[in-house]
Amino acid sequence: MEFARNKTVRGIDLYYEHYQNPEAKETLVLLHGFLSSTFSFRHLVPLLKEDYNVISVDLPPFGKSGKISSFKYSYENLAATVVELMKSLGVREFNVVGHSMGGQIAMNILLHHPDYAKKGILLCSSGYLKKAKLPLVLSSYIPYFHLYVKFHLARSGVKQNLQNVVYDHSMINDEMLYGYLSPFLEDDIFKALTMMIRHREGDLSAEELRKIETPCLLVWGEHDKVVPVRVGRKLNKDLKNSELIILKETGHLVPEERPEDVHQLINRFMAAEETAEATANGSL
């Protein structure tokens, strides 16, 4: 059974897509990257839903989720909001899949809510980025600052941004262009992005990462220009229970570029962890 709906969580309208598999034992929660939405998982979801219950979330203020100014758009609060959504859906345990910024929010879940997240799959996850500098944060209080944000994003252009995040430019088509452009056709998103600049607390520190004990799979594109492989290697060292896989001829947008490979890697990781758990519990 598949359905999409909105639910109010921690004071904001949260859009999510739920793909229920009655035979599946595990639930995967998908978290997209910055300036993206559930759309970025459209090639991966059809593969994953054959083996798992899948819940794909539009992280505020992106996609079809709320864009209100009263919500705190910090990573820690976004992580708590995702966990609250799962609790409201009766999902007591889940495995979190995060791409880019979604990976940083996934790690916030692993750190702050370890009892809920069983495993982490980090796809070209952001890491080690500092909080926005004070002048930029102060600028976010200037009236109409959101118009500057809108101008900056419009100037860079959706096609140019896509060319920066995929290795094979020939895969960029009209469907892809419109899918990544459509969330930015309303002004409310730019006001919310201004709040996100103000609230973003910076990525987890190395010290915080070392506290995470949850098993993690790290999947990286060899030619990632947004979050270079060196970030993945550093995360692999700081996350004590992690494995790093690097995909050849791949850029930053791995769910778009290599959905079949990502699906196989997730299946292998989940199966290996289940075997390890069974061995530890004396079930084998």
Contact assessment for residue 269 and residue 260, using Cβ atoms and an 8 Å cutoff? no
Tell me the chain's radius of gyration from C-alpha atoms: 18
Q: Quote the Cα angle for 117-121-122, to 5°.
A: 120
Catalytic residues, by residue number, are: 100, 252
Within the chain, residue ranges assigned H as helices are: 45-48, 75-88, 101-112, 134-139, 145-156, 158-165, 174-181, 188-199, 206-209, 229-238, 254-257, 259-280
Do you know the residue count of the chain? 284
20 vs 79: CA distance, rounded Å: 22
Identify the DSSP state of 156: H
Q: How many CB atoms lie within 10 A of CB 56?
A: 27
147 vs 207: CA distance, rounded Å: 37
